[in-house]
Amino acid sequence: MAGCTCRCRQGVLKFIQSLRRLVFGTLTKDKIDDELEMTMVCHRPEGLEQLEAQTNFTKRELQILYRGFKNECPSGVVNEETFKHIYAQFFPHGDASTYAHYLFNAFDTTNNGSIKFEEFVMGLSTLLRGTMREKLEWTFHLYDINNDGYINREEMTEIVRAIYDMMGKYTYPALKGDVPKQHVDAFFQKMDKNKAGVVTLEEFIVACQEDEMMMRSMQLFENVM
């Protein structure tokens, strides 16, 4: 009973306080303060040595990367909106948001809606310094939107459409007909050997390794740091 009275009193006091704040207009201010507090949660990455061990970067490179990252995202994490925003600046012609979304998911290995520095650096390490197989695996995971281990036509179409979206409307030659679909058909022709309608990881890797052109391009991208 005493607890109930206490709680009642507290409730009434709180109500009066909020009324007062409402009248004097600081209610919104408090809300903003609350929000600020939530977003001020900082994430600190693991130690430099650990990261150096886990990735293929040197300490120096990690330092440079982190300085840039921290400068951009003082809170230590990138959320999807920011990510899309940043990526869009590289492709002013078209709409990069869809592709950025898939890219975000590929980097966000823990699937918690934000990319920490470790995830960022791991992704970069795979893409820039990883073995051919690691890169191909990463790419496979990028295409495999629902993470079921198979790439089906719908997923591929999504990705290809996203890529064509980045080109924008004004291309030469003009995008007539359903060019993404043709592209997807060509892709499946190349990759899906047993005509199962889906591409597995092994099929993907094998097909890519057989593709001379792709291997050459991959090598060009070595160490684009």
Partner 1 sequence: MAAGVATWMPFARAAAVGWLPLAQKTMPKPPVDKKSRSDEILFVNVSGLRFQTWKNTLDRYPDTLLGSSEKEFFYNEETQEYFFDRDPEMFRHILNFFRTGKLHYPRHECIQAFEEELAFYGIIPEIIGDCCMEEYRDRKKENQERLAEDTEAENAGDAPLPPDATLRERLWRAFENPHTSTMALVFYYVTGFFIAVSVIANVVETVPCRPIKGSIKDLPCGEKFSVAFSCLDTACVLIFSFEYLMRLYAAPSRCDFARSVMSVIDVVAILPFYIGLVMPENEEVSGAFVTLRVFRVFRIFKFSRHSQGLRILGCTLQACASELGFLLFSLTMAVIIFATVMFYAEKGTKGTTFSSIPASFWYTIVTMTTLGLLITAIHYQLLIQLLMSLYFHLQYLFMWGHVGLSDLLSCCVPQDGDGDSTPLCVKNRSAFEHQHHHLLHCLEKTTNHEFTDEVTYSEVCVTDSVGFRTSRSTSLSSQQGATTTCCSRRAKRRAFRLANSTVSVSRGSVQELDTLHVTKTPAGTQYPQSRSSLNARTENLKLNCDDYTAAIISIPTPPANTPDESLPNSPAIPGILRNSRSSTFNTQETVKISSL
For residues 192, 196, 199, 203, the Cα torsion angle rounded to the nearest 10 degrees is -60
Q: Which is nearer to partner 1, 9 or 29 (CB)?
A: 29
Q: Which is nearer to partner 1, 1 or 38 (CB)?
A: 38
Q: Which of 69, 108, 122, 144 binds partner 1 (CB under 8 A)?
A: 69
- The nearest distance, CB 148 to partner 1, in angstroms, is 19
Q: Which is nearer to partner 1, 1 or 213 (CB)?
A: 213
- Interatomic CA distance for residues 101 and 124, integer angstroms: 17
Regarding 132 and contact with partner 1 (CB under 8 A), the answer is no
Find all residues with CB under 8 Å of 97, minimum gap 6, and list them. 84, 87, 88
- Interatomic CA distance for residues 30 and 9, integer angstroms: 22
Residues 144-183 as x/- pattern, contact with partner 1 by CB under 8 A: ---------------xx--xx-xxxxxxxxxx---x---x
Regarding 59 and contact with partner 1 (CB under 8 A), the answer is no
Stretch that binds partner 1, among 11-19, 21-29, 46-54, 209-217 (CB under 8 A): 209-217
Cis bond before residue 180 (omega within 30° of 0): no
DSSP string, 1-24: -HHHHHHHHHHHHHHHHHHHHHHH
- The nearest distance, CB 16 to partner 1, in angstroms, is 31
